[in-house]
């Protein structure tokens, strides 16, 4: 009984209560987001069938990044975030920059998700004020995160299940429509809708390149599965399985869904302003398509916000753990239920500013810009994480019997080049140019500040005890 207690409790008081099914569904939920349900229409209209190639390429690179993160977390599953490895292998000052940048990104994107959730709820209840919906939703999700990590896992399990059912329902519906040459108001369903008159750059190479960052950010959040490692019952068994199966999820749920959408609905006729799922189900004769997909997108956004809050709490806890200042260590505490409660509450309090910011006249565009700029910072943090992995492989910490990423000497440089190319591609997308510049300004300004920062602790590089 005593041994079981050791397995379920970490040295810092956090509990290992996430089971295999929780982590598998969190991994799946992190892979599938509103980028697919709402944003896929815009990507398809930009590039046509070539979007399949873009999803495949970016999916493969995300998978390789997850393998790099997974190798480090397998070595030390006690870490709450992959940012800790940036501090360990690239130095505390770079870790300070990455930690705060990534945490702020989570907060601002959480604000954006909370704002979106109120819009989805008002689809059915237009007379309720948005701020009331936002406060109610955030209080509920904060409570889910504060009560116990197992409750968070259960919530994410069912959120992800709804998304999976919606995608599988569309894929099955699409296969039936294609195999029966189902007649729709705009033609017949069939693979010829994809390949007839195929051109690799139907709207020009600029639109093709501009679709890369859109698809990239649709995959963002996949790394959240790694953040669950410190609170997973059997990380050495669960983590490799969850990460290795990522590639199959990409093939089925992203590429499979995109192929079905274009087979049913000729891509030239798709509207970029409406969910492609709504358009497909409407063609299939589902009159309540808009309402059904709105419910799915609502649960998807709620799932994202739940995960962002979970991740933000753990990242702020990590920042507090690495800080030598006077204020931050006060957030380095764990509640009786085994969660970093103060860090979660503080992160939730900042996300709660979303309704306040949204209500200020003339501030909405600035808010959108900040969300976009901080989202772009994920590219920088991913890049630093891969560099940290390269350093890990050359350090005495490397475990040749662990969850080894073979060929790291060419994979890591390829990943670094990929992230640089994606950042440059932002300048080919009219909406991405200003946020990309804002992100660069942040990197230079906050980077210089971080270089002078003296409150971050040096992280030891000695071996950590395996769980």
Instruction: Classify residue 184: in a domain, yes or no.
Output: yes
pLDDT score recorded for residue 35: 72
Q: How many CA atoms lie within 13 A of 96 on its CB side?
A: 21
Per-residue pLDDT tens over the stretch 366-376? 666 676 777 78
pLDDT at residue 6 greater than cutoff 60 = no
> What 8-state DSSP symbol labels residue 1?
-
- Summarize the confidence of residues 435-440 as an average pLDDT: 86
Tokens standing for residue 432: 């991405």
Q: Is residue 345 part of a domain?
A: yes
Mean pLDDT of 325-347: 84
Average of per-residue pLDDT across 396-401: 93
Residue-number span of the structural domain to which 255 is assigned: 7-452
For position 285, which CATH number holds?
1.20.1740.10
What is the predicted pLDDT for the residue at 64?
A: 94
Mean pLDDT of the chain: 84
DSSP one-letter code for 187:
E
Whether 2 maps to a domain, the answer reads: no
In a domain? residue 459: no
Residues 32-48, mean pLDDT to the nearest whole number: 80
**Per-residue model confidence (pLDDT) at position 70:** 92
Specify the pLDDT at position 4. 40
pLDDT tens digits for 149-191? Answer: 888 888 888 988 888 888 888 889 889 989 998 888 888 888 8
| pLDDT of 330 over the 90 cut | no
Does any domain span residue 104? yes
Extract the tokens encoding 434.
């200003």
Structure token pair of residue 300: 């998807």
- Average pLDDT of 76-91? 88
Q: What is the mean pLDDT of residues 257-269?
A: 89
pLDDT for res 5: 39
Q: What is the pLDDT of residues 109-135, one digit of tens each?
A: 888 888 888 888 988 988 988 888 989
Q: Which of 88-97, 262-271, 330-339, 422-431 is the most confident on average?
A: 88-97
In the chain, % of residues over pLDDT 90: 25
Closest residue by Cα to residue 28 from 162, 218, 297, 222:
222
* 9: pLDDT strictly greater than 60: yes
> Mean pLDDT throughout 94-98?
92
Residue 254 lies in a domain: yes
- State both tokens at 395: 């350090």
Spatial separation of the C-alpha atoms in residues 47 and 270, rounded to whole Å: 12
How many domains does the chain fold into? 1
């Amino acid at each position: 009984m005593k041994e079981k207690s050791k397995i379920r409790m970490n040295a810092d008081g956090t509990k290992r209560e996430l089971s295999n099914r929780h982590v598998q569904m969190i991994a799946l939920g992190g892979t599938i987001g509103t980028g697919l349900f709402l944003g896929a229409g815009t990507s398809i209209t930009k590039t046509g069938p070539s979007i399949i190639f873009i999803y495949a390429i970016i999916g493969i690179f995300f998978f390789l990044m997850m393998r790099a993160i997974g190798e480090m977390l397998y070595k030390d599953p006690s870490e709450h975030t992959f940012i800790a490895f940036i501090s360990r292998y690239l130095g505390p000052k770079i870790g300070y920059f990455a930690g705060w940048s990534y945490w702020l990104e989570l907060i601002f994107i959480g604000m954006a998700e909370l704002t979106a959730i109120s819009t989805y709820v008002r689809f059915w209840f237009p007379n309720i004020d948005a701020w009331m919906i936002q406060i109610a939703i955030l209080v509920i999700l904060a409570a889910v995160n504060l009560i116990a990590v197992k409750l968070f896992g259960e919530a994410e399990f069912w959120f992800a299940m709804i998304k999976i059912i919606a995608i599988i329902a569309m894929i099955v519906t699409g296969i039936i429509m294609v195999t029966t040459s189902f007649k729709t108001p705009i033609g017949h369903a069939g693979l010829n809708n994809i390949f007839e008159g195929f051109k690799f750059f139907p709207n020009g190479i600029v639109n093709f390149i501009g679709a890369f960052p859109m698809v990239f950010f649709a995959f963002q959040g996949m790394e959240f599965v790694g953040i669950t490692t410190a609170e997973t019952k059997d990380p050495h068994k669960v983590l490799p399985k969850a990460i290795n199966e990522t590639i199959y999820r990409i093939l089925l749920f992203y590429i499979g869904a995109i192929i079905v959408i274009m087979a049913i609905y000729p891509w030239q006729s798709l509207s970029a302003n409406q969910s492609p799922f709504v358009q497909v189900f409407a063609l299939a004769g589902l009159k309540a398509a808009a309402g059904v997909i709105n419910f799915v997108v609502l649960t998807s956004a709620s799932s994202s916000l739940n995960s962002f809050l979970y991740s933000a709490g753990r990242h702020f806890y990590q920042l507090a753990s690495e800080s030598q200042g006077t204020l931050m260590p006060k957030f380095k505490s764990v509640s009786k239920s085994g969660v970093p409660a103060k860090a979660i509450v503080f992160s939730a309090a900042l996300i709660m500013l979303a309704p306040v910011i949204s209500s200020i006249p003339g501030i909405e565009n600035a808010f959108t810009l900040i969300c976009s700029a901080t989202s772009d910072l994920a590219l920088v943090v991913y890049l630093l994480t891969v560099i940290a992995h390269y350093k890990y492989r050359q350090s005495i910490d490397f475990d040749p019997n662990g969850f080894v990423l073979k060929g790291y000497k060419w994979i890591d440089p390829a990943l670094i080049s990929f992230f640089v190319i994606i950042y440059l591609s932002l300048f080919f997308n009219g909406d991405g140019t200003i946020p990309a510049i804002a992100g660069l300004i942040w990197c230079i300004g906050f980077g210089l500040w971080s270089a002078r920062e003296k409150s971050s602790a040096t992280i030891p590089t000695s071996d950590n005890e395996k769980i």
